[in-house]
Each structure stands twice: as structure tokens, then as C-alpha cells.
Structure 1
Amino acid sequence: MAQVFKLVFVALLIAQSQASILRSIFADDSCQGRCNVTGTVPGAPCQCNTACVRYDDCCPDYYSLCLGQTGSCVGRCDQSGTVPGTCQCNKPCVDFGDCCPDYSDVCQPTDGVSDRELEDLGEELLGLDTESNAASYIQLDLQGKTSSGSSQDVAPLPLMTVASAAYTRPTIQKLLALHDIYDANVNIGEAYSAAEEAKINDFLDAIFATPIMQRAQDFLASKNLPNGRSNFYELWFGLFSRGNGALGSCGLEHVLMAELRGTDNVLGFHNWVFYALEEAASRVNYRGWMETVDLGSKGSIIEHNFVWQNTNKPVSSMFVGTSPELELALYTVCFYARSGAKCGVKLNGQVVKIQTYTSGSRGQFVGTAYPDLSG
């Protein structure tokens, strides 16, 4: 028995000696000279063999030194945890903004829709925004810049001066007819009457006849994502509860109009048409801007602070001058391609992030959608 213990002890000494030699030769936190070393180096903080990907203990330079990949997701898709010193290839990287450049193309996190495809589609849709675009009829007076979430001490002048011709644009006219359908209080249940359904269908007829919506629907269909008029109706006009049981909200009301929860919480309010009319009626008090994006002749995007019906909304954002179909097309595509995450679309040469969230037991409704200029 003593002889067996001696053999085991010697074997352990040899193993420890080999590990010590390896550690003394190679830097603990680098794969320099260690690529595909057989087995695990005991005590080393990271490894450099093919198994390290599975066990999530690769050294920071494993992919660049051992696999010849710099900033790539090849072989790393959905890798658990964060790999120090490099870009990431798991789903949280979308929220943290540290994905490798080829994450979408290689890992295909959302039905094969790449970041590049979304960016190109955004630019294409903006180019198609002609018939109902109203940017040429709007004059913005941005005035003072305010820090995020704070109000200026003195209320500035109105943000927008809008010529009446803006409201005669084809789909904007149809949108105006929807403004009197909803009660802003989300705690009050709603149901569509036959006359209201007729107004909704008129609006849908108008926007689905536009090149913008047709292109967006074709794109969704090509990616095997939900598309078509009936799906769009449920997505934007389906009524749901925001927490109290009453079916008092829908995506379109929230995004293209506005909602109130109680007396001190403004929800949604991401459309310039509704904003301009409320401001003209002295129900909105503009309090300053945080960020803007220039869309050239097509309009702009603004992140701003305002008071509506005596209730402050510290930070909000909206497209200005663009058509309803452009906004709904961008939001719908992003809802399905990057639901719950920031969705990058290129607009006038700049990548703008669109944020969407779902509502409903199946995530079948738009909870909210807006341009996120927070960076």
C-alpha cells in the first residue's frame, strides 16, 4: 500500500511540476505560445485550447492569436458571460452596445436580419417618403438646450410653427380622423364602434397603398417575419391593459398620440402631428431639447422635454415632418427584427436607434416605439 501512495505522490509531483513549467514559460493571461496546448493548464486564469470556448475560460487574445480572428463572432455565438478585452457575441451585447461587427451576420440573432440590411432599409424608406411628407411646411424653433430630464426655468416659445397645408397631406388627413377615437386615460376601457372601425380602415387603406408600407411589408415577408394587414391591425390597434385590467390602450394611441396614467404620468407622445395640434391649442408647453438628428429635406428627429395637460414629460422623442407611414413602417420592422432592443436604421447617412417594446400575453401588441437618441 505504501508503494501505491509513493507512486501517486510522484505522479502528482510530476503533474504539478509540468503545470509549473508551463506557467513559468507562458504568461497566465495570454495565449502567446500556448495556442491549442493539450489539456488544461491547472491554476491558469484562462485557457488556450478548443475546449475553452465551451467552458468560457479562454484568454482574452485566444480568438485573435489562436484562431486568427480579430473582433469576430465566428465560433463564439451565444457564448456565455463576457470575454474581457474584446467585443462580445451573446444576446446582451445588443443592449450593452459591445457586439462584434459581424454579430448579426454570423450569429443571426433575429431571423437572419442583419444590421446592414436594417440600415439600408431605413435609408430606402426615407427616400420613398415624398407624398405625405410635410417637412417643408414646418418651422422649428429649438431654442434652449436642456439637460436630460430637467426643465428650463422659463418656458420658451412654441417648438413648432406648422402651415395648414401640412395637415392636408394624404395620410396625415386620415390620421387626424383617429385623434378623437381614444381617451388618453389608460384606466378607462375602450371599444371600437362601427364608425371608429371605418376610420381605422380608411387610415389602413391609405398607408398600405403607399410605396413605403409596401416595401416594409415585402421586407418582412422576405425574412419570414409577421406581415400583412390583419397582423398590422392587431399590432397597432389591438386593445390591451397597462396594468389595471381595463383595455384602455393600444400601440397607435400610445405612439402617434398620447396617454395618461393617473394625473402625473405622460405615456407615449412620439408623433409630431399630435404634438403640433396640442401645442397650437395651448395644451403643450415646450421646455427645451436634448438631442436632434437632421433628416435633410425629409425633416428631423428631436429629443425634448415638455409639459402636457399640466403634466411634465422629462424626456421624449419624435420624428418631425415625416409621414405616418414612414414612422409606422420603421417601428413595425424594428418591432419584429429587434424586439425589445435598439434597432439601428440609417437615415440621411446617420444610424438612428429605434427602441420598441412588446405588450400582451403573447407580445403581440406594440407597447411603445420611439427613436432613441440617448446614445
Structure 2
Amino acid sequence: MSHTDIYQQIWESDENQFSVSARNSSGDWEDKNADILLDEQVKASGKPGIDLATRPLFYKVNEDKLFDKKLTYVNFIQLLDNYTIRTLDPEFTPDQEEQEQRDFINLIISTKPIQITLEYINQELGANLSQIQFKAKLQRIWFELYTNYYNGKSTHFASGFEHVFVGEGKFNIRSGNNLDNLGTISGYHSWVKFYLDEQNQRVNFLGYKYDLKGKAGSNNPNVVTLQMLQDVTDMRGNIIAQLFKKKGGFFVGPSPECEIAMATVAYFQSIDGLIRDRQRISINDANYNLVLYRSTNPNGSRGEFIRSFFPIFLGNDGVKEPEMNRPEIVPIDNIIKNDGSVVIVAALPNPEGSDTGGREWVELKNVTNSPINLTGWEMQDKMGRPESLSGTLEPNEVKRFPVRRSSNSSMQMTNKSGLIAVFDNQLQQVATVKYSRANSGEIIQFTN
């Protein structure tokens, strides 16, 4: 077997993988029934303060599958909150977290991607590991804490799992009214974590960031290269830092065991001297540079732990798709409209006290001379989460509609960088407005 063919074999063996669909050139979904609908939208501006992507990256994810306890995602998700994001903060691994690590390894060890990995490193690379020894090796290279030395600086309490799937932040904690603190984040190569962070408004997708010449984007839904801004909050939900990632990326759809398997193969290939830091591979006719960094010792040599793992998309079959294969990109200013039959008059995104129980609201006005039946209409926030409308707007009537926040998937207005959209019963855009910041108790006026 070729040392690059193993990645295709692992990918094909992934029984728990999510199907993924992007939009076609008309803006419709290639497969609206896919587990993941990926909405890359627009090229990032390159600046943290400019957000051209008006919708989340993940338009839809099959949460029944994501939280199915028979699969590995639930155990994987349990591991994500076991780390402090700030590199200066010490890490400790209590007994409960060690047990979560063991439970995860015990769960994935019998999956096909991991079994193929063990067979490959034994037969092709001469590792000669038993399953028990292999489990111990996975525990060590992925979860054991180590110190990484790079460019004369040391990062303590590092681990492969934390860097690859969670991310490590460098920032100073905000104090007082200082709102200018902008840190950076490294790692963070997990589609699962990005989706969960989007759902909880901890991360903001700023647009895609591919290096392919002459291309708008990848046209490959199984990978994304992006620009992002992550909020770091304290226990009360106050933002204490923002972390900017100018360019990052991850596979979209593979299960945790598939990603662990591919990275582990690359790790053993690196140990065996077959690769240095990266190698060119092909998966389903898409070409990648697969990057695997091992930890760095004080003398600059490579260490025995996984430092980072991520894909760099190079194009499909080495051919860069023409611009016409991407949906038309609509700049944000062109979708902001408030001059239709129904307009957004005002909103209260940040009521004093609790945001729940319908205390947030939006006022709509029928500017026509005829009644408008709102059955089947809905409002949406920036994340595309809906709030259903009902009743009738009489001619020139202004009516206030509560935002109930009835579930995590319902409309929720943010206190900054918000967007409110109204769609009719054919899901055609009727009105859209945006706002930059909403102070406590402030009613934002959009029209008279």
C-alpha cells in the first residue's frame, strides 16, 4: 500500500461520518438532505473588525446524529471543555478527566479507522504494537501534557488534543473599559467544536480564506479554510478577550476517530522519517497538503507528542475550479433592505435584566394599504435561527413581536454586531437590518 493511499482507506472506512453539502452556482443546496449544510458565503476581508459573512458557516447540522450516544461524538464533546484556552494558564488533569480520556480511547479503538491505523503502522511501518500498547500510545501522544519549545519560547501544559481540536489562545485579559485587546488563537481544527461554538455565539465566521489562485472558494464541502473571531468570556458571560485567527481550517464531516486515525498515521510516518511536516495526499479526488507537526524539544529536534494536525486544500484533481462554479457572492450592504411591504421599525436586543421570556422584541410596520397575513412568516437572527410570526398587520399598523428564545435553535438577538431579517411564507427576504451594538435597555430605531 502507498503511504498516501492509507488516508483514502481511512476516510472510506468512516461509518460515522456526516454527509456534507455546499451551495451550487444558483445558491441552492446540492443536497438539502445532507447531515451538514455548509454556507461559506464570501471571501474574508482579512481584518478582524470587518465581518462580511452575514450567516453562520454551519447552516444546518444533524444534531440527532451528533448527540447519538451510540456514536463517538458525545464522548469527544465531553473532552472539549477540559482545557483552559489561555496558554499562560496552568493545566491539570483530574481523575474524572483522565477517565473521560480513557473512555474515549476505549470507544474509538474498535472503530474501523483506528483498526486500519493499527494494522498499517504494524505491517507497513513495523511498529509491532498490541492493541493495549496502541491504546497507551494514543493516550500519550494525544493527551499527555508536555512543554513545547519554539523560537526561543516555551508553551507549558500543552497537549495534542487541546491544540488540534480546542485551540490555544494568547491574550491579555481585559480590564475596565479597555475594549481594544485582541489576541490570537492557534490550532482549533475541529468542525464539531466550531459548530458548537457558533451555536453558543462564542465564535464568529468572517468568511473563507483560500489561497487558490483565480478562485472564490473551494467548491469542496469536506474542507474549509477560513477567518474567524472567537470570544473568550468569564463565568458571567462578559467578554474578556477576543481571539483573531487570520487563517485556519479543518475537515468537515469526518468522525473524531477518523481524524484521530489520519493524524496518528501521519505521526508514525513522521517518526519513521517518511515525512517531515507535511505531505501531499488525495481524498475523493481532492488534493491536500496534510500537515502534522510534532512537539519541539529544547534543542530544536522533534519531540514525541503531536503538536498540530490540519489539512491545506490544494484543489480538486489539481485543477482549480473556475469562478463560475461558486455561488454569486452578495456583499452585506446589498442584502440590507428595509423598504418592502413590511419594514422593521425598531428593536430591543438587550433588555434590562434577563433576555428570556419574550423581553426582547422587534417592531414591524405594514406600509401598504392592504392587510398582510403573517401566517408562515418568520424573523431570523444572524445565525439563521427563526422566530415564527402570526396574525395580521393592518394597513400602516405597527406591531411589536416578542423574541421568545424558546430553544437554542430559536432566534436570539445579540448585544453587538446583530442582524434582524424578515421572510415571508415563501422564505423570500422582505426586510433586513443590522446594528453594531445594543446597550442595556436601548431601543434601536431603524425607521420612523
Q: TM-score range by the shorter chain?
A: 0.5 to 0.7
Q: Which residue of 2 aligns with 1:289?
A: 208
Answer whether contact 2:114 2:261 (CA < 8 A) is retained.
yes
- CA distance 1:318–1:226, shift in 2 (3 Å): farther
Please show how residues 192-207 of structure 1 align to structure 2 within 5 Å: 192-207=93-108
Matches within 5 A, 1:183-262: 183-222=84-123, 223-225=125-127, 228-242=134-148, 247-262=156-171
State the superposition RMSD in angstroms. Answer: 2.4
Instruction: Provide the residue aligned with 1:344 in structure 2.
Output: 280
Residues 1:129 and 2:14 aligned together? yes
Change in CA separation of 1:249 and 1:308 when aligned onto 2, cut-off 3 Å? same
Deviation of the 1:352 alpha carbon: 1.8
- Aligned partners of 1:287 and 1:304 also within 8 Å: yes
Partners of 2:251 and 2:128 in 1: how far apart? 25
**Identity over aligned residues, as a percent?**
25
TM-superposition CA deviations, 1:237-276 (whole Å, max 9, x none):
1112345766422110111112112241201010001100
Deviation at 1:324, TM superposition (A): 0.7
Aligned structure 1 segments of 4 or more residues deviating by more than 3 angstroms: 132-136, 149-155, 242-247, 291-295
**TM-score (normalised: structure 1):** 0.63
Query: Which residue of structure 2 aligns with residue 327 of structure 1?
Result: 259
Partner deviation per Cα, 1:327-375 (whole Å, 9 max, x = no partner): 1111111122145422223211223221111115361111111102368
Separation (CA, whole Å) in 1 of partners of 2:312 and 2:154: 29
Q: Does 1:178 align with 2:118?
A: no
Does the alignment pair 1:138 with 2:36? Answer: yes
Q: How many angstroms apart in 2 are the aligned matches of 1:275 and 1:365?
A: 24
For the residue of structure 2 that corresponds to 1:265, the secondary structure is: strand
Give a deviation string over 1:174-225, Cα, whole Å, max 9, x none.
Answer: 1011122111112122221111111001100111110111001110112124
| Partner SS state of residue 178, structure 1 | helix
Greater gyration radius: 1
Distance verdict in 2 for CA 1:134–1:204, change over 3 Å = farther
Change (3 A) 1:360 1:191: farther
* In 2: Cα distance, 1:146 partner to 1:360 partner: 32
Show the counterpart of 1:31: none
- Residues 214 and 221 of structure 1, relative CA distance in 2, 3 Å threshold: same
Please list every run of 5 or more consecutive structure 1 residues that lacks an aligned counterpart in the other structure: 1-115
Could you say what secondary structure the match of 1:363 adopts? strand
Cα distance change, pair 246–351 in 1 and its aligned pair in 2 (3 A): closer
Post-superposition Cα deviations, 1:19-76, rounded to whole Å, max 9, x if no partner, equal xxxxxxxxxxxxxxxxxxxxxxxxxxxxxxxxxxxxxxxxxxxxxxxxxxxxxxxxxx
Aligned to 1:108: none
Residue 28 of structure 1: aligned partner: none
* 1:162 aligned onto 2:61: yes
1:306 to 211, 225, 228: 228
Query: What SS does structure 1 have at the residue aligned with 2:171?
Result: coil
More strand by share: 2
In 1: Cα distance, 2:206 partner to 2:135 partner:
38
> What's 1:16 paired with?
none
Match of 1:370 in 2: 310
Q: Contact 1:138–1:321 (CA<8 Å) still a contact in 2?
A: yes
Distance 2:283 2:97 in 1: 34
Whether the aligned pair in 2 keeps the contact of 1:294 and 1:301 (CA below 8 Å) is no
2:65 corresponds to which letter in structure 1? A
